[in-house]
Amino acid sequence: EVQLLESGGDLVQPGGSLRLSCAASGFSLSSYAVSWVRQAPGKGLEWVSTFSGSGGSTYYADSVKGRFAISTDHSKNTLYLQMNSLRAEDTAVYYCAKGTVAAAALGWFDPWGQGTLVTVSS
Amino acid sequence: QSVLTQPPSASGTPGQRVTISCFGSSSNIGSNTVNWYQQLPGTAPKLLIYNDNQRPSGVPDRFSGSKSGTSASLAISGLQSEDEADYYCAAWDDSLNGWVFGGGTKLTVL
């Protein structure tokens, strides 16, 4: 069974850093694109970043470009999101989601993890 | 402001048919397939429709998707109380080089 388990969410001060993890099971991260999607409290879904399964290309939303970095550890089959220079508007539940092919631009998100809450506040 | 435009709310009575629209542009819906996600209250999103009109196994055939030009639609027939949820459309955007979502539609079953 394919499963994704996020962790690392916490309360952090503005300007601070945090690293989220997404442990994957039932499939290999090296074969599929995997993405981060966030949802601010009471708001809609916002795509954050994708790591492609082939070649390891990375893609970022303009709102996080230059501040966030997505990466994978194939030995642990885990996806990461390093978040720096955090702002109040980054407060959200962060979901990781598996793509259906290696290419970032194709397919769909299925399944999704249960999410981890990041709160940026002083 | 979301790149894909959905109505913020929709409603219907049990047994009715409702449709939710999703408007985009030539760089997203006009050139890539559309996926729909259902988010029940307090839960993570779940894939509902992929490749414009395909249903994953386990999704009732009451749910259907369609696309024409730069817009897409989700139709739910035989509305049931358990369909009360938020619905999101999504597509890859060639200009932004990333995924874009609609703002979401909150469906209420009256």
pLDDT tens, A50-103?
A: 999 877 899 999 999 999 999 999 999 999 999 999 999 999 999 999 999 888
| Closest residue on chain B to A5 (Cα) | B44
pLDDT of residue B3: 95
The dihedral sign for the CA sequence B68, B6, A3, A19: positive
* CB neighbour burial string for A38-77, b if at least 16 within 10 angstroms, e if fewer: bbeeeebbbbbbbbbbeeeeebbbeebeeebebebeeeeb
Question: Which of A12-21, A40-49, A95-104 has the weakest average pLDDT?
Answer: A95-104
pLDDT of residue A38: 98
- Does B65 score more than 90 pLDDT? yes
Question: Among candidates A60, A108, A65, A62, which has minimal Cα distance to B1?
Answer: A62
A113/B88 Cβ within 8 A = no
Chain B CB contacts of A112 under 8 Å are 44-46
For tokens 């997404």, the residue is A22
Pairing relationship of beta strands B63-68 and B9-12 according to DSSP bridges: unpaired
Question: Among candidates A116, A95, A109, A81, which has minimal Cα distance to A37?
Answer: A95
B interface with A, Cβ–Cβ below 8 Å: 2, 32, 35, 37, 39, 44-47, 50-51, 56, 86, 88, 90, 92, 94, 96-104
Mean pLDDT for B42-51 is 97
Task: Note if the bond before A111 is cis, omega within 30 degrees.
Answer: yes
Question: What is the Cβ-side half-sphere exposure of residue B90, based on CA atoms within 13 angstroms?
Answer: 27
pLDDT of residue B1: 87
- Does A1 score more than 90 pLDDT? yes
Mean pLDDT for B10-20 is 97
What amino acid is encoded at A9 in this protein? G
Three-class DSSP category at B82: helix
Nearest to B99 among A47, A95, A114 (CB): A47
The mean pLDDT of chain A is 96
pLDDT of residue A55: 73
